[in-house]
Amino acid sequence: MPGLIPERFIDELLARVDIVDVVQPRVPLKRAGREWTACCPFHDERTPSFYVSPAKQFYHCFGCGAHGSAVRFLMEYEHLEFPDAVEELAQSVGLTVPHEGGPARQREDHTDLYALLDAAARFYQHALPESAAAKAYCKKRGLDAAIIERFRIGWAPGGWDAMKRALGSSDARTKLLEQAGMLSTGDKGKQYDRFRERLMFPILDRRGRVIAFGGRVLEGDGPKYLNSPETPLFHKGRELFALWQVRQANTKLERLIVVEGYMDVVSLHQAGVTQAVATLGTATTNEHAELLFRAAPDVFFCFDGDRAGRSAAWRALESVLPRMRDGRQAFFLFLPEGEDPDTLVRKEGRDGFEARLRNATPLSEYFYAYLSRDVNVATLDGRARLAEHAKPLLAKLPDGAFRDLMFAELEKRTGVQGAPATNAVLSRGVTSTTGAPKRTLVRSAIAMLLANPALAQEITLPYAFAGLDKPGILLLTELLDFLQERPGINTALLLERFAGREESAALQKLALTEFPGEPEALRAEFIDAFRKLAEQTTQQRLDALIRKQSESALDDAEKSELRGLLARKAQPASPL
């Protein structure tokens, strides 16, 4: 599990929380046998395909594939980070979240930094009305008082130490300013304000706290935009400018529009396009892609139409591919030469910009157009090259209809059949397929463990099947070890244990397996499965020794083992 929260606390928390109580206030549920069902809150649908299982304590949507525990549901539905979701759940059942590694000291340090950066934002805001140049610029860009207040836009005064003199009233405060990235150090070791004579845009985290700044120069030398450096609070590859403002303006967020500049974001919000965010002057990262799709199902990337813009768009596409599960969509809007979102929305208004968004290029079209730009698909060699370039990228797509359709399009364009049975053959040997996985004895055993994790206590060490050379044995062994170390955990927590790993998709599908009948019948079937695995292990080793005996002589130890195996084969195998 990520963060500093002990895993055993998560066990206790999910044991106390009923997922139905978490989902029901947010999504109207209806009884459906032993489960609850609803229309999925994560994608549009008319027929309910969203199921909540009280027995397994997890949710699953058969439409878009969303799934997970009560913690995962809060993260997805409320757009919370993992620690915040845990904190909210803990409060609901009266638990205090513990932290490993001295959380009190860390929180105190961060609290001071947050307070200092908030004070810096207020300092810049108060300085804005005193700058004729800043006021004139805001007026020229059509910014009204409400939008300036909403984004807390300010002004960094000229000189070298206005900020330092205002907030660095002691050595400790000066050190905090340095920690927060508000000061720079010259060649001779003298400190001075990092931001001077710039229009200032505070960068807020998901809770609306100031964590950094972006400053835009109005005239003169220096970079057009200057951002805070990396700090304990700020990592630019993980943050989006204006995401907090977007969430404040949209009760239900259906889309996000990713643009390049702070003023592009502000101008779009001013015009009523309140879903715009920016990536803080860096290319779209994997963390950005995860954050974008966690916030909204549809993401529009807005770039210049030149070579640099198209290169940035392709990097964004590569980042979102592994996150394009069913129900999610990505689009690419390329702007006319010399235009940016700021100039376009002021020229064409909200309706004009919305019209451009409606005509944006879907990811699927841009993907094949980009890869085909220098390829002659009329030739055999050209089609082979397209397939060679496309297949490794398409393999990153999650299982689902979109992945199948993208591979079908590749086959249509090239004649090459490219869709493997899975987007990942799991390292532990359980294959995640787009349909129902073929039931083997190992998969059946894993499915039964997921249906009732307490069954792990029926199997004792050493495992009689451990030496069996079959796909999935290592995963089955790992599951048993984990469940025996952590008795009492439920299905949802077991699935969380494998979240982010290659095996996760296959385990999610196996967890949906139903075993009708009484618990005692499931226990008997489980024990019988392990008895058969033990028999297969014996037979496999026996076959190997007999094969070796026919090819070369066995040593004394192997002869003794062969006699023992033949004798054991005559007796019933034990799964224990």
Q: Give this prediction's pTM.
A: 0.65
Cα 386 from Cα 407, distance rounded (Å)? 12
Percent of the chain with pLDDT over 70: 92
Cα 315 from Cα 303, distance rounded (Å)? 12
Residue 575's pLDDT is what? 54
Contacts of 223 (CB under 8 A, 6+ apart): 217
CATH number of 372-414: 1.20.50
Contact, 99 vs 93, CB < 8 A?
no
pLDDT exceeds 70 at position 424: no
The domain made up of 243-368 has a fold known as: Dna Topoisomerase Vi A Subunit; Chain: A, domain 2 (3.40.1360)
User: Distance of CA 28 to CAs 23, 133, 393, Å?
Assistant: 8, 53, 39
Mean pLDDT across the chain: 85
pLDDT exceeds 60 at position 478: yes
Residue 131's pLDDT is what? 95
Domains 243-368 and 441-569 alike in fold: no
Residue 272's pLDDT is what? 96
Amino acid identity at 139:
K
The domain made up of 441-569 has a fold known as: DNAb Helicase; Chain A (1.10.860)
pLDDT exceeds 70 at position 432: no
- Angle (nearest 5°) at CA 516 between 511 and 519: 90
pLDDT exceeds 50 at position 92: yes
Contact, 536 vs 468, CB < 8 A?
yes
User: What's the DSSP call for residue 38?
Assistant: E
Per-residue pLDDT tens for 508-547?
Answer: 888 888 887 778 888 888 888 888 888 888 788 777 777 7
Q: CA nearest 206: which of 80, 110, 57, 350?
A: 80
Cα 151 from Cα 172, distance rounded (Å)? 29
Contacts of 322 (CB under 8 A, 6+ apart): 286, 289, 396, 397, 398
Binned at pLDDT 50, 70 and 90, residue 437 comes out as very low
For residue 352, count other CB atoms closer than 10 A to its CB: 12
- Angle (nearest 5°) at CA 170 between 124 and 121: 15
Cα 164 from Cα 120, distance rounded (Å)? 10
Q: Is 426 left (phi over 0), alpha (psi -120 to 50) or beta?
A: beta
Architecture of domain 7-92: Alpha-Beta Complex (3.90)
Written in H, E and C, the secondary structure of 457-471 is HHCCCCCCCCCCCCC
Written in H, E and C, the secondary structure of 397-442 is CCCCHHHHHHHHHHHHHHCCCCCCCCCCECCCCCECCCCCCCCCHH
Binned at pLDDT 50, 70 and 90, residue 3 comes out as very low
What are 186's two structure tokens?
A: 């010259």
Residue 62's pLDDT is what? 86
The residues with which 32 forms a beta bridge, in sequence order, are 35
Cα 73 from Cα 56, distance rounded (Å)? 14
pLDDT exceeds 70 at position 436: no
Q: Which carries the bigger pLDDT value, residue 61 or residue 300?
A: 300
pLDDT exceeds 70 at position 347: yes
Specify the range with the lowest mean pLDDT, choosing from 221-225, 305-309, 319-323, 513-517: 513-517
Written in H, E and C, the secondary structure of 223-292 is CCEEECCCCCCCCHHHCCECHHHHHHHCCCCCEEEEECCHHHHHHHHHCCCCCEEECCCCCCCHHHHHHH
Q: What stretch of H or E contains 451?
A: helix 441-451
Residue 106's pLDDT is what? 40
Residue 420's pLDDT is what? 52
Class of residue 285 by CB neighbours under 10 A (exposed 0-12, middle 13-18, buried 19+): middle
Residue 569's pLDDT is what? 65
In the chain, where the domains are located = 7-92, 103-234, 243-368, 372-414, 441-569
Residue 187's pLDDT is what? 78
Q: What stretch of H or E contains 299?
A: strand 298-304
Q: CA nearest 313: which of 321, 323, 302, 324?
A: 302
For residue 427, count other CB atoms closer than 10 A to its CB: 11
For residue 258, count other CB atoms closer than 10 A to its CB: 25
Contact, 450 vs 60, CB < 8 A?
no
Segment 448-461 mean pLDDT: 87
User: Distance of CA 145 to CAs 59, 113, 152, 161, 250, Å?
Assistant: 45, 28, 10, 28, 20
CATH number of 103-234: 3.90.980.10
Amino acid identity at 160:
W
